[in-house]
Amino acid sequence: TTTYSLAVIGGDGIGPEVVAEGLRVLDAVTGSGGPAFERTDYDLGARRWQATGETLPDSVLDEVRGHDAILLGAIGDPSVPSGVLERGLLLRLRFELDQYVNLRPSRLFPGAVTPLADPGEIDFVVVREGTEGPYTGNGGALRVGTPHEVATEVSVNTAFGVERVVRDAFARAQARPRRQLTLVHKHNVLTYAGHLWRRTVETVGEEFPDVATDYLHVDAATIFLVTDPARFDVVVTDNLFGDIITDLAAAVTGGIGLAASGNVNPDRTAPSMFEPVHGSAPDIAGQGLADPTATVLSVGMLLEHLGEPAYAGRVQDAVAKDLANRSGERRGTREVGEALAALVAG
Ligand code: IPM
Ligand code: MN
């Protein structure tokens, strides 16, 4: 049997709770005759920072790099100054491991609770750029704390970075039945970056003549995500726009408890990392209340990425069945995990 090495970073808040259920389902689905997963747990996050001042030591990064994939829960804690763990741990992993495709599928499963009266068939994927944009930390502040303070946060967009993510998005669109790619940006105001993105979609699009393209400004995209989300197939966008619209996309497809993601390095020069879109939810941490479904779906994406589509499909199907059976009663983290584990085991 194939053996994969998996780095596990539970992280903060509800992170370890949902990851435990993700691993329960992974064990259940691969249980009889499937691939084996050799797991290493990494103690990273708020506790480690409090104890040692470390976020992600180089030696740990190097170890993590040696794995086939990473499963991450959530990062962030009110006891740590905002940005320390986000930048020092989560973004550092995405950047150092060159996970430039932040893949965020949105599918409205029958039974999932949507605030939309007439949602239609929602099934799209956002390809969010993962290593550039306003996330690079390229900025600074002058005269801090004075009435004359000036803060800049420069969005970095390179031809190399934009082209590789756009090409990946086209390839994904080409592999889907509708073959449609929407660029979301704001080129009427962000003229330098916007024009680079637009030109890149045009040029790379020549390699994909069977993929139809269109364009939406990000503000207009938020309208359509609520009024007509079924229109979307593949969306490609920059790091910050992608962050924002995928929370909105999650809200219309059953909530953040169902939203899965992959931070993918398509060139496979380093491991890809799979994580729920939600955060550490410190308000409900330790109470067994968090819905682990987003993590379970992320485990499905991990299996797909490793080239195990049959097992990935079983995870998806189990979630679909579980959602169809939900009758409104509140179940805990473990109950949902156990139900999904039973379903994938068949
Ligand atoms: C996400 C999160 C992160 C992001 C934060 C925690 C840095 O919101 O994964 O969407 O902005 O990318
Ligand atoms: Mn986010």
Q: Name residue 178's amino acid.
A: R
**Residues labelled catalytic:** 135, 186, 219, 243, 247
Distance (angstroms) between ligand 2 centre and the Cα of 243 equals 5
Spatial distance between the Cα atoms of 131 and 109, rounded to a whole number of angstroms: 30
For domain 1-110+259-346, the question of CATH label 3.40.718.10 is answered with yes
What's residue 9's pLDDT?
Answer: 98
Classify each residue of 218-230 as buried b or exposed e, where b means 16 or more C-beta atoms within 10 Å of its C-beta. beebbeebeeebe
Q: What is the DSSP string of 294-319?
A: HHHHHHHHHHHHTT-HHHHHHHHHHH
The SS3 of residue 121 is coil
- The reply to whether domains 1-110+259-346 and 114-253 share a CATH topology is yes
pLDDT band at 330 (very low <50, low <70, confident <90, very high): confident
Ligand nearest to the CA of 277: 1
**Ligand 1 atom at minimal distance to the Cα of residue 87:** 7
| pLDDT band (50, 70, 90) for residue 314 | very high
Nearest-atom number in ligand 1 for the CA of 240 is 11
Q: Ligand 1 center to residue 90 CA distance, Å?
A: 8
Ligand 1 center to residue 243 CA distance, Å? 7
Residues 36, 39, 41: CA angle, nearest 5 degrees: 165
Residues with CB under 6 A from ligand 1: 76, 86, 90-91, 243, 277
Query: pLDDT by residue (tens digit) across 258-271?
Result: 999 999 999 999 99
- 90 labeled part of a ligand binding site: no
Query: Best mutation site among 44, 82, 89, 90 for ligand 1, i.e. most ligand atoms within 8 A of its Cβ?
Result: 90
Type of residue found at 336: V
Rounded to the nearest angstrom, the distance between the alpha carbon of 253 and the centre of ligand 2 is 16
Fold assignment, 114-253: Isopropylmalate Dehydrogenase (3.40.718)
pTM for the model stands at 0.97
What does residue 89 show for φ and ψ, rounded to 5 degrees? -120, -65
Burial letters for 164-199: b for 16+ Cβ neighbours within 10 Å, e otherwise?
Answer: bbbbbbbbbbeeeeebbbbbbbbbeebeebbebbee
Provide the pLDDT for residue 245. 98
Do residues 183 and 236 lie in contact, with contact meaning Cβ atoms separated by under 8 Å? yes
Average pLDDT over the chain, rounded to whole? 97
Q: With contact defined as beta carbons under 8 Å apart, do 185 and 217 qualify?
A: yes
Residue 168, CA distances (Å) to 84, 99, 106, 313 in order: 30, 12, 18, 22
Task: Tell me if 282 is assigned to a ligand binding site.
Answer: yes
Q: Judge whether 280 and 13 are in contact, CB under 8 Å.
A: yes
Q: Tell me which residue has its CA closest to atom 12 in ligand 1.
A: 243
Query: Which atom, in ligand 1's list, is nearest to the CA of 75?
Result: 6
Helices (H), 10-158: 15-30, 46-52, 58-65, 84-85, 92-96
**How confident is the model over 171-180, as a mean pLDDT?**
98
- The pLDDT, as a whole number, for residue 223 is 98
Rounded CA-CA distance 15/295 in Å is 9
| Domain ranges within the chain, ordered by starting residue | 1-110+259-346, 114-253
* Whether residue 346 has pLDDT greater than 80: no
In the reported structure, the alpha carbon of residue 248 is separated from the centroid of ligand 2 by a whole-number distance in angstroms of 10
Ligand 1 pocket: which of 70, 91, 93, 135 to mutate (most atoms within 8 A of CB): 91
In total, the chain counts a number of residues equal to 346
**What residue owns the CA closest to ligand 1's atom 7?**
86
Residue pLDDT, tens place only, 253-300? 999 999 999 999 999 999 999 999 999 999 999 999 999 999 999 999
Q: Please report which ligand is nearest the Cα atom of 93.
A: 1
pLDDT digits (tens, 9 = 90+) for 94-120: 999 999 999 999 999 999 999 999 999
The answer to whether the annotation marks 94 as part of a ligand binding site is yes
Residues near 178 by beta carbon (within 8 Å), at least 6 away in sequence: 233
Q: List 119's β-bridge partners, or say none.
A: none
Reply yes or no on whether the pLDDT at 328 is more than 90.
no
Q: What is the pLDDT of residue 337?
A: 98
ipTM of the complex: 0.99
Q: How many CB atoms lie within 10 A of CB 338?
A: 16
pLDDT tens by residue, 69-90: 999 999 999 999 999 999 999 9
Report the residue among 44, 80, 86 best suited for mutation to probe ligand 1: largest number of ligand atoms under 8 A from its CB: 86
| Structural Rg of the chain based on CA atoms | 20
- Output the pLDDT for position 117: 94
The response to whether 5 counts as a known ligand-binding position is no
The pLDDT score that the predictor gives to residue 332 is 96
> Considering only CA atoms, which residue is closest to atom 8 of ligand 1?
243
